[in-house]
Amino acid sequence: MEKKRRRSWVKILIVAVPVWLLVSGGIGLWAHFHYQEKERQEQQHAYRKDINAPSLVDDFNKITQQIGPRYHASEDGRNGLQRMASMIEGSLGVSNIGYEVKKIASLQHAESVAPLLLADVMRRETEEEIWLIVPYDSPVSLPRGAASASAVSVSFAVAQSLVGQPLERNVRFLYVPMAYAEEQRLDMAAQVRRLIGSTRRAVQVLVLGSMLHEGKMATLTRDTELLILRDASDLVVVSEGSEICFQDDGEFSSLLHEMNLPTALLFKRPEADMSALLEDGIQAPADVLAESAEQVVAVLQRLSHPTQKK
């Protein structure tokens, strides 16, 4: 009797194990394709396009030549901020790349001409998020604001390149006015801190600085435990503050870091010492901007996949 029971169990196992392997494999394949389809459905509102160097230069030239200075200190500067905000909203929005752009009044002004602009790569929330902060104003002392113009134009290419990519962590683009404004930037940083902190999901905040130079992407932070240094150390070089042109590129990231956000500056450092005014005169080469965009995409993709192997 005992032998018969054993034989019965053996027969059951002989049949059940292959069936279970087949079923579990089928479930795994279904989950994989279901996840891909879910990502596609989430991002079907947006249009993916590879990084295009001429388009990057065109955006950069529009900002530096047509829009010009962008700050609150003068009427012309405020007009520049308003035009810049409109360009960001139009470039990212449903009539172009296809993102849903949310306008948030800056510094609590309901009729602000220079709002915070928020766009998510994915329409759903994820347990953890990567935030890319893109200042779109410029220092009062600089006639073109080339550094922040390069960051904005690169961010457009990055946003479009990420469409349709399967990401485990949502990437959130936040365009910020008054990051360079001496009188308002502390209040602006506090507003950004409240916005990011309210979700309690940010595992890495990156502020985009100058994208005008050749070479490897650099990062500046005082926190050696940040995600970018743990998971993307091969994609960036750690820089000293002295390597940044003196136009307060690192100031806004430092303010956010002091407000207990996991913040780092992401930028391209010049090959030699360069004043802010000299850097502001750079006519950004197309290949340099395209290279910068590709490097930012690589960093975001790495940080957006916590299970991804190097």
Amino acid at position 224, single letter? T
For 47-76, the pLDDT digits (tens) are 678 899 999 999 999 999 999 999 988 999
Edge to edge, the sheet with strand 217-220 lists 102-104, 116-120, 170-176, 129-135, 202-208, 263-267, 217-220, 236-238
- Please tell me the pTM assigned to this model: 0.83
Which pLDDT belongs to residue 170?
96
CA distances, 176 to each of 48, 84, 104, 105, 230 (Å):
24, 11, 10, 11, 27
pLDDT at 140 over 90: yes
The residue range of the domain holding 24 is 1-44
Indicate whether 28 and 68 sit together in one domain.
no
Whether the CB-CB separation of 248 and 209 falls below 8 Å is answered with: no
Q: Give residue 141's pLDDT band: very low, low, confident or very high (50, 70, 90).
A: very high
Indicate whether 15 and 131 sit together in one domain.
no
For residues 165-189, give the mean pLDDT.
93
Assigned domain for 226 exists? yes
pLDDT at 253 over 70: yes
Which pLDDT belongs to residue 24?
52
Indicate whether 37 and 177 sit together in one domain.
no
Indicate whether 286 and 212 sit together in one domain.
yes
Indicate whether 67 and 115 sit together in one domain.
yes
Which pLDDT belongs to residue 246?
44
Indicate whether 189 and 281 sit together in one domain.
yes
Greater confidence (46 vs 149) lies with: 149
Indicate whether 11 and 151 sit together in one domain.
no
Alpha carbon distance 276, 188 (integer Å): 23
For 187-242, the pLDDT digits (tens) are 999 999 999 998 899 999 999 999 999 999 999 988 889 999 999 999 999 986 65
φ and ψ at residue 175, rounded to 5 degrees? -95, 125
Indicate whether 22 and 119 sit together in one domain.
no
User: Number of folded domains in the chain?
Assistant: 2
Which pLDDT belongs to residue 244?
58
Which pLDDT belongs to residue 107?
77
Q: Which residues contact 46 (CB under 8 A, 6 or more apart)?
A: 97, 98, 99, 160, 163, 164
Which pLDDT belongs to residue 12?
58
CATH of the domain at 274: 3.40.630.10
Which pLDDT belongs to residue 113?
77
Indicate whether 145 and 192 sit together in one domain.
yes
